[in-house]
A and B are shown apart, each in its own frame.
Chain A
Amino acid sequence: MSQGESLPFIQEPIPRSRWLAPLTICAGSLVTALFPAVATFPFLPPSGLLMLLGWRLQRPDAIPVWATALLGLFDDLFSGQPLGSAMLLWSTCVLAIDVLDTRLVWRDYWQDWLLAGGAIGFCLVAGRFLAAPFAAHVDTALLLQIVASCALYPLATRICVWLDPVPEER
């Protein structure tokens, strides 16, 4: 239990993650718009989504639930996907993780990774069908992108934990 809940009249200091989390997720979305290369196949991981999952699974109270839709809209402006796709898919992921959280009371790191992998795979595959025609030959590249993104998830969690370390007394 944190200090604030046992002593209701003492204002708990706003944790750093409250403003750092949306900022880093937006920065992740901006990576695609700023990366100085013209891609011939999808080679960058969806870094905004990785940061979102990192924050959601490491610090569940960092992002207000409703903010996911707005962060998704921001990502859509830069990713090249049709507008609205990340808004829909990211919200679905966060809702699914919230539902799973009521079932799994205590998650360990590997379960976190599995959840993140599922969310990444769902977002990329659904995004592919929303954006590109069914006959497009993008599936091999997409598979590699999913594997690379899942492998990069621990890096996202490292960044989140490094930005907002757990205080000693908790």
Chain B
Amino acid sequence: MAPPRNRRPGFSRRAQYGLFLGYVVLVAGAAIGAGMLLLSTFNPPAFAVVRGAVSEVTTPIASGLSWVRHGVSDIGSGVSNYFGVVSENARLRKQLADSQTLIERASTLSIENRRLRVLLGVRDREAESVVVARLVASSASSTRRYATLNAGSRQGVQAGQPVRGPAGLVGQIVETSLNTARVLLLIDPESVVPVRRVRDGMPAIVAGRGDGMLDVRSASLASVVFRDGDIFVTSGTGGIFPPNIPVARVAHDARDTALARPTANPDAIDFVLVQKSFLPEAKPTNAPAIGK
């Protein structure tokens, strides 16, 4: 490669100043970048409005591309389903007969459970759903794991709301614009979810690792044993995630901190469900003075 032609702009003062000014602006730009970086490190939602505005433009295109991609990837599975349908039918019939007794037992237990709850007077909060939408794009070149949801504040989505798929928890809304929202996925290195073990209700914390897997850490006791296949569901602690959404399945036997696989693969899900925060933040009220 020949030496660049703009290295010496010649005797023109104007060209010399222009080149120098270019470098001054570049260094100033880098300094502004560093300042913005500091601001967004200490206050992550600082530039949510700007990001939301550009995402309003790109998300419709991404939605179209995502629709095309899902359509194309459905063709293959559709063809293979067509040819596998007879054997699958026989297998499912057998499975149905096998699980019939189990279902009957479970339904009697469910009825009994409901009766006992009424007797106890437990007040249940139902997790209200906000909207069903698609995850259309993600931060695929970054080490952070964000996804873009094609529904926003106009559809009732608000920051902090949990996002779940049919198989389990997917993440949490962090930023919204009018028609799009940004989801912090469960597998992001800064995501933390309070959970409990299905088997015995032991409290734990699930943290993302950044490589698609999760870390399960025991929340209370020391020397906790995690078994391969232990399933963890949200505990409802903290009031953001409704209880009993499947989160993680432990991959190997371990002590204190275990490697786990998320139960929901965000890329394989067609639609996700955004729910209201389980217990919304308490608003300051003008409480009447007690004792007067």
Residues on the B chain within 8 Å of A60, using CB: 4-6
Contact in complex: B141, A136 (CB < 8 Å) = no
Say if the beta carbon of B66 comes within 8 Å of chain A: yes
Bound-state CA distance A86–B4 (Å) is 25
Which chain B residues in 171-187 approach chain A with CB under 8 Å?
A: 185, 187
Residues on the A chain within 8 Å of B266, using CB: 38, 40
Query: Which of B1, B30, B137, B143 interacts with A127 by CB under 8 Å?
Result: B143
Provided the pairs A38-B138, A41-B211, A42-B142 are in contact, do residues A91 and B29 lie with their beta carbons within 8 angstroms?
Answer: yes
Say if the beta carbon of B285 comes within 8 Å of chain A: no
The smallest C-beta distance from B20 to any residue of chain A, in angstroms, reads 10
Contact in complex: A34, B61 (CB < 8 Å) = yes
Chain B residue with minimal CB distance to A30? B58
Bound-state CA distance A87–B37 (Å) is 9
Contact in complex: A101, B4 (CB < 8 Å) = yes
Say if the beta carbon of B33 comes within 8 Å of chain A: yes
Say if the beta carbon of B109 comes within 8 Å of chain A: no
- Partner-contacting stretch, out of B44-52, B92-100, B241-249, B274-282: B44-52
Number of contact residues on A: which range applies?
35 or more
Say if the beta carbon of B221 comes within 8 Å of chain A: no
Chain A proximity mask over B3-38: 1 for CB below 8 Å, otherwise 0: 111110010000000010111011111101111111
The smallest C-beta distance from B218 to any residue of chain A, in angstroms, reads 18
Contact in complex: A88, B30 (CB < 8 Å) = yes
Which chain A residues in 46-71 approach chain B with CB under 8 Å?
A: 46-47, 57-58, 60-61, 64-66, 68-70
Contact in complex: B37, A32 (CB < 8 Å) = no
Contact in complex: B26, A65 (CB < 8 Å) = yes
Most B-side CB within 10 Å, residue of A32, A72, A98: A32
Residues on the A chain within 8 Å of B209, using CB: 136-138
Residues on the A chain within 8 Å of B1, using CB: 57-58, 106-109, 112
Chain B residue with minimal CB distance to A40? B212
Bound-state CA distance A10–B209 (Å) is 61
Chain A residue with minimal CB distance to B34? A88
The smallest C-beta distance from A91 to any residue of chain B, in angstroms, reads 4
Bound-state CA distance A78–B213 (Å) is 24
Contact in complex: A36, B33 (CB < 8 Å) = no
Chain A residue with minimal CB distance to B10? A5
Query: Which of A33, A37, A58 interacts with B69 by CB under 8 Å?
Result: A37
Say if the beta carbon of A163 comes within 8 Å of chain B: no
Which chain A residues in 81-105 approach chain B with CB under 8 Å?
A: 81-88, 91-92, 94-95, 98, 101-102, 105
Q: Contacts A79-B141, A85-B37 known; list 6 others, CB within 8 Å.
A: A32-B139, A36-B69, A65-B19, A65-B23, A65-B25, A107-B1
- Interface residues in chain B, defined as those with a beta carbon under 8 Å from any beta carbon in chain A: 1-7, 10, 19, 21-23, 25-30, 32-41, 44, 46-47, 50-51, 54-55, 58, 61-62, 65-66, 68-69, 135-148, 185, 187, 189-190, 209-213, 265-267
9 contacts between A and B (CB under 8 A): A33-B137, A39-B145, A66-B22, A72-B29, A73-B29, A91-B33, A131-B142, A133-B190, A136-B189
- Interface residues in chain A, defined as those with a beta carbon under 8 Å from any beta carbon in chain B: 2, 5, 30, 32-47, 57-58, 60-61, 64-66, 68-70, 72-73, 77-88, 91-92, 94-95, 98, 101-102, 105-109, 112, 127-128, 130-133, 135-138, 140-142, 145
